[in-house]
Amino acid sequence: MKSPIGFGLAVLATTAFAVAGNEPNGDKKKGGEDPPKAGTLQAPKVTFQPGKGITFDGGDDFSLNLKSYFQIKWYYLALDSNPDTNSFRTKRVRMNFSGHVWDRELTYKVQTDFIDSDDSSIKDAWVRYNFYNTDHYTLGLRMGTQKMLESRQGTISSQKQEFSNRALATRVFGSARSTGALFLGSGLNDDNGGKKLHWFLGTMNNDLAAGSISAAPESTNLDGAGVGDNELNYIVGVRFDPQGEMAYSEGDLEHSGSMTSSLGASVLFGNADVGIAQGDVESTTVNLNAALKLGNGFAAAGEFFARKDDADLAGVPSADSNGFYVQGSYTMPPDDGTQYAFGARVSMIDFKDPPIFMNAAGMESGQGDPILGAGGIGNDPFGLAPAVGYPVGAEGDIMEYQLMASAYYHKHALKTQLTYTYQHADPDNVAGVGNDDNHGVDLIFTLAF
């Protein structure tokens, strides 16, 4: 059966080109040729660049970029409390549609994942309109399913990460998408046509912490019984790039000779309805993030998360938790051949109180999986945990230490990444459950086209 998304976009493209063709020119072309008659379909300019896809350029009225990437992974996990795992996995197969229509200030993006069974196959589906855009400032509104910019690493595409996965702290406290609206602003021009200052204010349906039990981007604020949740979540944030706008991409692959850096912060105010009998959970998450590229191959990045959950449930106390990561890398110069890179990362999550609303993250498969995801031992007031893994409701911490070596054949568009992970899980005060020391090695290949 043909994809309805592809068919719909084809109809959109055809319609937009027809509209573009209806616009009168008014002047004759050089050589005395008459301008196109109204209603004449004009062929767009078509270009292709490896790693950046195919672009159909219809001028001010329409553009469409088609880009795909996939990631194939092998991993071996040696775990204390679970059987060892040796497996291949097709981790992502994604296609992006993006561009503008009718006006260059009206942009859109649709991103699908053809193999994602844990979440909605529609990763992004949004429209943005810049209602104020001058040489110095831009103000716009973006609505739909999207990344809400809470975390820098969570915002960076999985294609442009330095390690084979995001840091443990990001996998727990950030990186979830949501459906909602973002007011976006930018100002303070740099020397390359970008902006140094960015700010945003948004509202959305679900929690943005991937480890939260309410982090479901397809959420419509209706529970299984059709009972509505009348509260949304809210976020506010700011980012400052002192030397000029810094792209959302990890590693200093360009060797530009100039230092770039970024400082950011956000505050997320969460409101989740966990059922009539259980009540609401209000949460506050603070994120601080920084990134640095020295222009000579050295790069560093780090983030800190602090979260507080306050449940409207009799006998359930508030819960504090936090996490961080710090990483650094060196990438060899972009000569004619392959660029090799080496790096290290440390990340931690700390459940200071019984985490009544949060789950730990697995080494490989994310939250709620046997591979050191959330497990069913301990206090689970919502009954949502699987049978094994880090105990749900247990205080304690998890540390991850990682080493990576990468080969960039065409920067992030074509690369191979090797990562070693040592994870130490230390739950507190859970009968029959001790510390776990886990090891993992994975090799991931990425191709974007």
pLDDT reported for residue 358: 81
The C-alpha atoms of residue 135 and residue 285 are separated, in whole angstroms, by 34
The C-alpha atoms of residue 37 and residue 114 are separated, in whole angstroms, by 42
Q: Which domains can be identified in the chain, with CATH numbers?
A: 67-93+120-448 (2.40.160.10)
Chain segment 180-222, per-residue pLDDT in tens: 999 999 999 988 889 999 999 999 998 888 888 777 655 566 5
Chain segment 127-153, per-residue pLDDT in tens: 999 999 998 999 999 999 999 999 999
Chain segment 263-293, per-residue pLDDT in tens: 999 999 998 766 544 567 889 999 999 999 9
Exposure letters 4-21 (e unless 16+ CB within 10 A, then b): eeeeebeebbeebbeebb
Residue 161 has pLDDT above 80, yes or no: yes
What average pLDDT is seen over the chain? 82
pLDDT band at 12 (very low <50, low <70, confident <90, very high): very low
Chain segment 344-377, per-residue pLDDT in tens: 999 999 998 877 778 777 776 543 343 444 444 3
What is the token pair recorded at 437?
């020391």
pLDDT band at 317 (very low <50, low <70, confident <90, very high): confident
The C-alpha atoms of residue 122 and residue 146 are separated, in whole angstroms, by 10
Chain segment 380-406, per-residue pLDDT in tens: 333 333 334 566 667 888 999 999 999
The SS3 assignment for 59 reads coil
Residue 258 has pLDDT above 70, yes or no: yes
pLDDT reported for residue 191: 86
Q: Give the strand pairing for 178-189 and 137-146.
A: antiparallel
Alpha helices in 164-272 (DSSP H): 168-173
pLDDT reported for residue 149: 96
Chain segment 79-103, per-residue pLDDT in tens: 887 788 899 989 899 999 999 999 9
pLDDT reported for residue 84: 86
Q: Give the strand pairing for 319-331 and 339-351.
A: antiparallel
